[in-house]
Structure 1
Amino acid sequence: MLRILHSLPRTHKLLLLPVATMVTVLGAQKIVTTYQDVQREYRTLDTVIVPLEVDARPVLPTLSFERSPVGDAIEMASQALDATRHQLPLAKLVDGEALDLDLINTASASADGGLPLALTRPAQSGASDASQAQSKLDQGAVHMAVVVGTIGSGMLDHDGALMADATSYEPVSDEELGLFDDGPVILEKEIAATEPFVPEWQTYTVKQGDTFAVMAQNHLGLGYSEVLRLLDELPDKNALTRWRAGNSFEYQLDEEGKLLALRMMRNARTGFMVERDDAGFEVATIERTGEASQRLFAGTVSGSFARSAQATGLSSAEISELTRVLGQRLDFRRDTRRGDRFQVLVESDVIDGSSFDPRVLAVQYEGERFDMTLVRNGADSKFYTPDGESLDPAFNRYPFEGSYRLSSGFNPNRRHPVTGRVSPHRGTDFAMPIGTPIIAPADGRVEKVANHPVAGRYVVIRHDNGYQTRYLHLSRPLVSRGDRVTMGERIALSGNTGRSTGPHLHYEVLVNNTQVNAMTVELPENKSLTGEQLVAFKRQAEPLLAALQSGETGAVVASRRDSGDDEG
C-alpha cells in the first residue's frame, strides 16, 4: 500500500493522506495490541479481522458526500484504493481544490473478529454520552500511525514536490528570534590595522664641506666599515667622494633608518643604483634613453671652417665628426673659400633638455671650388653620396690619422751621405712621436710580426686586393700573426727601434712583391652600394635630403649665417 501511495501524484497524496493515516492507525493499534499480548503469560496472539460490507464498491467520496456520525473507514479506504486503480474522478482534481476531510481519534475492535471495527470522529457538542463510549486509541499507536503515514505519503522525500515548493512568506525580525536579547554589540577597544612599511625616496643635496663618510653615518645609518665597502663596490670611486656643493642624490631607508637603496646620476643620461642585499651592497648602472631629435645647422665659411661651424651653434663633438667626414674629400686649407655655404643635419638623444650622442646624418657643402652632398647609411654608419658612392676608399693612402712630416721619400737611387754609394730607400718615412697609433690602410690579414737588428720591431700585412704593407721601427705591435684586421684598425705604435736616426715610421707598399712609391701608386677605387643595399639607402636618404633642401625638420632647427673670426 505504501508503494502505491508513493507512486501517486501530489494531489492524490493530499487526498489520501487522512485515509492512509487512518488505516495505519489500525495497523499500529494491532501492533501494540499484539505486543501487549506477548507480555501476558499463557496468552495466544490474536489477529484483528476487518470485514468489508458485501456491497462494497469502488466509489470516491465527493464534496457532497453525506457524512454519517460513524463513517465506514474500511469502505472509504477501499474506495480510495480502488479509485487509484481504476482512474476514477480523483485524477480530475487539480491543484488548489479544497476537500472537506475529518479525522478520527478513537477506534475499537472485537477480539474474536465477529464485530466490525468501530471508528469515532472528534466529539461534537450535543452528542450523547453513549456515542462517546468508545475506547481511546493508545497515544503511542497514534504517534506511530502518523509517522508511518507521513512516510508512506512521500511528504518527507527530499526530492518530492512538497519539499521543492517549501518556502516562507512571513518575515521574522531579529528581535523575534532573540538574536540580540543581550542588547547591541559595543566594541570597547578599537582594532588597530597593521599597515606594511613602504620606504619612500628622499633627496639629499650636497652642502659645502660635506663628506660622504660623515653624511652616510648621520643620514643613512651606515657605519664606517659599511661606507668603505659601499665605496669599493662603485664602478667610479670618485662618484661619492669628489662631489660638488649642489649635487644631489636620492636614497631610501628601512624602518630602522638604515640605507636600503641609493640612486645617483652622473648626468641626465647615466648614473648608478646601489641596493642592500644579504651579502652587502649590489651596484647597477643606470642608462636613460632619450628621444631622438633632429636639428639643422646652416652657416657660411669666413676664415677657418671649424670656427665658421662653431658660429652656427654646433658643439665641439659635432664639429669634430663633421670635419672628419668632409675631410675625406675636402682639403680645408686649399679647397675652402670665403662665402662657401654648408648645411648640417644632426641627430642626438635629448634628455631633460640636454643633448647626448650627436650623430651627423647629412651634410651639404656648396663652394667655389668644391660641391658635395653626403648622407649617413644607417646599415653600416658610413657616408655615401646620394648615388651610393662610398667615401671610404678601398685603400687609404696614409696608415695613420692626422698629418705628419714626410722626412724621407721613396728613392731607389738614393746615395749614402758618407760612403757615396747607392743605398736605395724603398719606403716612405714619416717623422712622428714615439707611441703614435698606426692603422691598417685596408682590410687584410697579418702575415708576420717580428724583430730585426736593422728594421727593429715590424709588422707585415697582406691585404685582400693582393697588396702588401710593411711597418718598421715600431715601439710595440698590437696584433699577432694570423689576425684579421679591417680598415682603420690600430695595428701598432710608432717608435725608434732598430737602426734609426730618430723616432719615425718607415712605411712600405708592395705590389707583386715589389716595393712601390706609397704616395703615387694607384690604389683600388672606392666601394659603392649596389642592388638591394642601394635601394634601401636611397629610401632612407630621401627625407634627409629633403630636410637639407627645405631647411625644415621635425625638431628644433638652429641656423646662423653670420661670419666668424677671419683667419689669413
Structure 2
Amino acid sequence: MMRILRSLPRTHKLLLLPVATMVTVLGAHKILTTVEDARHDRQNQDTVLVPLGADTSPGVPSLSLDRAPVAEAIQLASRAMDATRDPVPLSQLPASEIVDVRYLETPNRASSDATPAGDDGPRLDDGARHLAIVIGTVASGMLAANERLVASATSYEDVSEDELELFDDGPIVLEEEIDADEPYVPEWLAYTVESGDTFAIMAQENLGMGYSEVTSLLEAMPEPELLTQWRAGDHFEYQLDEQGELLALRLMKNARDGYLIKRGDDGLDVATIERAGEATQRLYAGTISGSFARSAQSTGLTSAEVAELSHVLEKKLDFRRDTRRGDHFRVLVESDLIDGRHLDPRVLAVSYEGSRMDLTLVRNAEDNRFYTPDGESLDPAFDRYPFAGHYRISSPFNLRRHHPITGRISPHKGTDFAMPAGTPVDAPADGRVELVGNHPLAGRYIVIRHDNGYKTRYLHLSRPLVSRGDRVTRGERIAMSGNTGRSTGAHLHYEILVNDNQVDAMKVALPEHQGLTGQALADFKREAGPMLTALESGETGTRVASTDTEVAGPDDES
C-alpha cells in the first residue's frame, strides 16, 4: 500500500489522506455513539435485531457486497442502529437474524481469544465484532445524506510518521502547477504612430521582424503606402507569439476596408478586410428659405447627400422657378453604420410639398433609379446628350453647310462637341452594338441600334470600350473621345438616325420616360411601402435623425 501511495502524484496524495482518515474515524465514531446512547438510556440491549435480505441464511453477517445493493445495506444498517432506541417486535420484522451482543463494562484491548489479567467481564465475541465492522463500514458512506454525522464531523490535525513520509518530495504549490498548464492566448495590442516613426524600424523593435521579412511584406502589400507613408496619429493592431514575434497585423485604411496580415507556414499572408456595416435609416425634414442647397444643409445633410438629392429632384423640379419660401421637404437617407460613423449614404426617398408642385420619389433597388409611388419614372428613355457635363457645340447639324475650302454645299449630318481627347462617352439609351471599326475619314467609330428603333453613331473616337454584339444600357460608358480620322481637332461627332436617316440630335423628339409594369411594378410597390410610411410618419423603425429647420429671419413664415 505504501508503495502505491509513494507512486501517486503529489496532488493525489494530498486528496487521498483526508478521505482515508475520515472513513476510518467516522465508522468507529458511529459505533461508539450507538453504544454510549444505549448505555445512557439504561435500556435492555442484550439483543439487537438486524434485518437481512429474504434470501439470507443463518450465520454471521458478511462484508460481501453481492448480498444486496448498497442502498438496501444502508437501510438494514440504519434499522439495526435505531433498534437500540425503539425496539420493534419480532413479529413486525421481515426474515432476520438474531445476534447476541453483550456490552462490556470496560473496553476490550486484547484479541478475541484472550482476556486481560484482572478483567472478568464478558468479551465481545467474533459475531458481534463482525457486526460492528459491517455497521461502521456502511455508516461511513452515509456522510452526505445523514445530517447528524455532518453536524458532529470534526478535523484531526495529528499526522503520523508514516503519513509524513508520503510528502517526502517537497512542498506542493498548486498555483504554479495550474499556471504552467494554461495555453498561451495572444492578445491584440494597439500601436499609435508618432512623428518620425518608420515601419521598418518599428517592425524590428516591436514586432520581432527582420529586415528581409519587412521587405517581403511591403512587396506583398497591395497598397504598400499604408506602411511606408505614415502620419502621426495613425494606428494599427497586432498580435505577438510567446517569443515576441509577429502573429497577425490588422491595418485599416478606413472604417470599412483594410488588410489582415497573418503568419502562415510559408511566411506572412495578406488578406483583405471588408466590414459590412449595419444599414441605418435617418430622416431629415426642413423648410425652404433661400436656396434649396442651403436649406437642405441646415437639416444636417452632408454635402454629398445634398448633391445627390439635388440631382434627383432637378429632373422634375426647377429650383429657380418652382421653389418658394416656406415649401417643406423630407428626405429618407440610408447609410452603413460602422464604429459610430455613417458611411456610403444614399437617398432612399424624398417628398417635396410646395406652393407650385408636390413631388414624391422612391428609389427602386432593382435598377437604382427613382420612381413615383405609382411606378412612373422621371428618367427619360433616351438622353439628349451622350456624355455627362457640358461641352460647347463646335459644329451643329446643318444639311446646307458650305465647305470652308471649296465653297460647295457639304451637309453636316451630325453634331460636333468640342471636348478633350479621352472624355468618356455614354450610351444615351438601352440597345445593342451593331458596328465597331476604323475608317480613314470617320476614324474609330461605334454604331448602336436602340430598343426604340433609333440608331446612334460616334466618330473620331480614341478608344472604343465595347465590341460588336454587346448589350448596353442607358448611361453605360462605351468609348473615349478623340481626334482620329479626318479631323481638325479633338471633338466628338454624334449622330441620331430615325428610319436610317440622320436627324438633328438636339431637336428630334425623343421617347418619353417609361414606367414599371407587371411584376416589376408589384415588387417596387411592396418595397416602397415602408419608405413612404417613414416619410409620412417620421418613424423609420431604426435610428432617426430628424430636424425641422428653417434658415430664415424672424419675419419669415415657418
Which category describes the TM-score, using the shorter chain as reference length? 0.5 to 0.7
Q: Deviations over 1:420-451 (max 9, x none)?
A: 32221211222222211111111211111112
Q: Is the 8 A contact 1:311 1:560 kept in 2?
A: no
Aligned equivalents of 2:500, 2:56: Cα separation in 1: 124
Aligned equivalents of 1:11, 1:269: Cα separation in 2: 81
Structure 1: where are the runs of 5+ without partners? 1-9, 16-93, 99-165, 174-179
Equivalent of residue 171 in structure 1, options 116, 125, 136: 136
- 1:217 and 2:182 aligned: no
Aligned equivalents of 1:330, 1:435: Cα separation in 2: 32
1:559 is aligned to 547
2:516 is aligned to 529
1:392 is aligned to 379
The aligned runs of 1:157-168 (5 Å cut-off) are none
Q: Is the 8 A contact 2:58 2:97 kept in 1?
A: no
Aligned equivalents of 1:227, 1:250: Cα separation in 2: 17
Q: CA deviation at 1:217?
A: 0.7
- 1:186 and 2:173 aligned: no
Aligned equivalents of 1:521, 1:258: Cα separation in 2: 71
Aligned equivalents of 1:337, 1:509: Cα separation in 2: 39
Q: Deviations over 1:354-404 (max 9, x none)?
A: 111111011123445543211012333221101111223322221111222
Larger Rg: 1
Q: CA deviation at 1:409?
A: 2.2
Q: Structure 1 residues 404 and 331, CA, compared in 2 at 3 Å: closer, same or farther?
A: farther
- Segment drifting more, 418-427 vs 211-220: 418-427
Aligned residue identity for 2:279? A
Q: Structure 1 residues 97 and 415, CA, compared in 2 at 3 Å: closer, same or farther?
A: closer
1:414 is aligned to 401
- Over the residues paired in the alignment, what is the CA RMSD in angstroms? 3.1
- 1:230 and 2:217 aligned: yes
Aligned equivalents of 1:511, 1:334: Cα separation in 2: 34
Q: Structure 1 residues 398 and 97, CA, compared in 2 at 3 Å: closer, same or farther?
A: closer
Provide the secondary structure at the position in 1 that maps to 2:308: helix
2:352 is aligned to 365
Q: Structure 1 residues 510 and 11, CA, compared in 2 at 3 Å: closer, same or farther?
A: closer
Provide the secondary structure at the position in 2 that maps to 1:171: helix
Aligned equivalents of 1:538, 1:12: Cα separation in 2: 88
- 1:480 and 2:460 aligned: no
Provide the secondary structure at the position in 2 that maps to 1:169: helix
Provide the secondary structure at the position in 2 that maps to 1:239: helix
Aligned residue identity for 2:169? E
Equivalent of residue 423 in structure 1, options 402, 407, 410: 410
Aligned equivalents of 2:236, 2:405: Cα separation in 1: 71
Q: Structure 1 residues 367 and 452, CA, compared in 2 at 3 Å: closer, same or farther?
A: farther
Q: Deviations over 1:184-226 (max 9, x none)?
A: 4225333634332221221111111111111111111111111
Structure 2: where are the runs of 5+ without partners? 1-53, 60-93, 99-130, 141-159, 554-558
The aligned runs of 1:485-504 (5 Å cut-off) are 485-504=472-491
Q: Deviations over 1:117-174 (max 9, x none)?
A: xxxxxxxxxxxxxxxxxxxxxxxxxxxxxxxxxxxxxxxxxxxxxxxxx99824359x
Q: Structure 1 residues 348 and 522, CA, compared in 2 at 3 Å: closer, same or farther?
A: same
Q: CA deviation at 1:333?
A: 5.3
- Segment drifting more, 256-265 vs 241-250: 241-250
Aligned equivalents of 2:218, 2:241: Cα separation in 1: 20
Q: Structure 1 residues 472 and 348, CA, compared in 2 at 3 Å: closer, same or farther?
A: same
Q: Structure 1 residues 330 and 494, CA, compared in 2 at 3 Å: closer, same or farther?
A: farther
Q: Is the 8 A contact 2:288 2:550 kept in 1?
A: no
1:342 is aligned to 329
Aligned equivalents of 2:264, 2:449: Cα separation in 1: 54
Aligned residue identity for 2:481? S
Aligned residue identity for 1:171? G
Q: Structure 1 residues 390 and 480, CA, compared in 2 at 3 Å: closer, same or farther?
A: same
Aligned equivalents of 2:521, 2:451: Cα separation in 1: 23
Q: Is the 8 A contact 2:347 2:363 kept in 1?
A: yes
1:507 is aligned to 494
Q: Structure 1 residues 371 and 11, CA, compared in 2 at 3 Å: closer, same or farther?
A: closer
2:146 is aligned to none
Aligned equivalents of 2:399, 2:56: Cα separation in 1: 136
Q: CA deviation at 1:507?
A: 0.8
Q: Deviations over 1:465-522 (max 9, x none)?
A: 2211100111211112222211111001112222223322111111111112222222
Q: CA deviation at 1:341?
A: 3.9
Aligned equivalents of 1:266, 1:474: Cα separation in 2: 38
- 1:260 and 2:260 aligned: no
Q: Is the 8 A contact 2:279 2:336 kept in 1?
A: yes
1:461 is aligned to 448
Q: CA deviation at 1:417?
A: 4.0
Aligned equivalents of 1:404, 1:271: Cα separation in 2: 39
Q: Structure 1 residues 504 and 299, CA, compared in 2 at 3 Å: closer, same or farther?
A: farther
Q: Is the 8 A contact 1:206 1:245 kept in 2?
A: yes
Q: What is the TM-score when the length of structure 1 is the normalising length?
A: 0.65
Q: CA deviation at 1:527?
A: 2.3
Q: What is the TM-score when the length of structure 2 is the normalising length?
A: 0.66
The aligned runs of 1:345-356 (5 Å cut-off) are 345-356=332-343
Q: Structure 1 residues 333 and 280, CA, compared in 2 at 3 Å: closer, same or farther?
A: farther
Give the number of aligned pairs.
407
Aligned equivalents of 2:523, 2:470: Cα separation in 1: 33
